[in-house]
Each structure stands twice: as C-alpha cells, then as structure tokens.
C-alpha cells in the first residue's frame, strides 16, 4: 500500500457516508500493510428477533471491510472492486457492545483478492469467521 494509516482510515470513513456502512455505524479504526479493521456497534438496530447480532449485519461488516481493503491494492483511476463471493461461520452470539472486523489478505492476484475477515467482540473472542473473494475489474473507458 502506498498510503499512510491516517490516509486509509480517512478515505474509508469518507466513502462510507450515505451508504449502508453509515446506516450500520461502521467506522474504520486501524490499518496496516496487510490488514484493515472496522468496528460496528451491537444494539437493537442490528439485532435479529431473539435480541442477538444478526448474521447479515456481521456479513455486511465483513464485506465492507474486505472490499475497502481491496481498494488500496488497485489503481482506482483504472480499476474497481466487486465482491463476488462471501461465506460466514457464526461462532458466538453477542447482544451489545461492539464487534470488530479485521480483514487480512490471503491471496492478492491481478484479478482476484481473497480475504479472511475475523469478527471479534470487545474481549477478542471470535464471533464470526468470514471469507470474501473480490474481483478486480478494469474501469470502462469513457468515449
């Protein structure tokens, strides 16, 4: 990556405005050479009917952080990223607090990026383990 941690976090938080990430109150909080971390509050707005964190909210966090991380490995003037597959194993329930999604690159090819996203609670317990495949596409040329 050719960006500072501060630039990465500012960019991610800026392009989250007026999106699902803003609705879910996802905030990017840490970044490094091979990872990106975001946090999301767990409250009734992301609960399923039993009062637990909804698996879909966990997957939205995972795809958001994994897709944002891929963005920093491409040339955004010439390329764009699309999530093409995501899987999740939900391992622990949580009712309140925060969850943290950390994406780490497994494979960085020219056209595919494979990410492992671990979602943990505030104590560091694994809540969900996700895998995301992103496709890198060439931007269409303007005529």
Q: Is 78 a catalytic residue?
A: no
How far, CA to CA in Å, does 50 sit from each of 15, 40, 54, 141? 32, 19, 9, 49
3 state SS of 25 = coil
Per-position b or e across 22-43, b if 16+ CB within 10 A of its CB:
eebebbbeebeeebbbbbbebe
Contact 7, 1 (CB under 8 A): no
Find the catalytic residue in 14, 22, 63, 78: 63
Token pair belonging to 133: 């495949």
Q: How far apart are CA 124 and CA 36, in angstroms?
A: 16
Token pair belonging to 117: 């996203």
Catalytic residues: 63
């Amino acid at each position: 990556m050719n960006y500072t941690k501060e630039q990465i976090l500012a960019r991610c938080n800026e392009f989250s405005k007026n999106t699902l990430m803003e609705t879910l109150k996802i905030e990017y909080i840490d970044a490094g050479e091979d990872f990106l971390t975001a946090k999301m509050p767990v409250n009734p707005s992301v609960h399923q009917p039993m009062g637990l964190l909804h698996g879909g909210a966990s997957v939205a966090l995972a795809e958001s952080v994994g897709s944002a991380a891929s963005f920093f490995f491409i040339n955004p003037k010439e390329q764009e990223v699309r999530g093409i597959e995501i899987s999740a194993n939900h391992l622990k329930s949580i009712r309140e607090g925060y969850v943290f999604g950390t994406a780490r690159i497994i494979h960085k090819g020219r056209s595919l990026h494979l990410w492992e996203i671990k979602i943990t609670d505030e104590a560091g317990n694994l809540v969900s383990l996700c895998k995301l495949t992103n496709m890198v596409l060439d931007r269409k040329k303007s005529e």
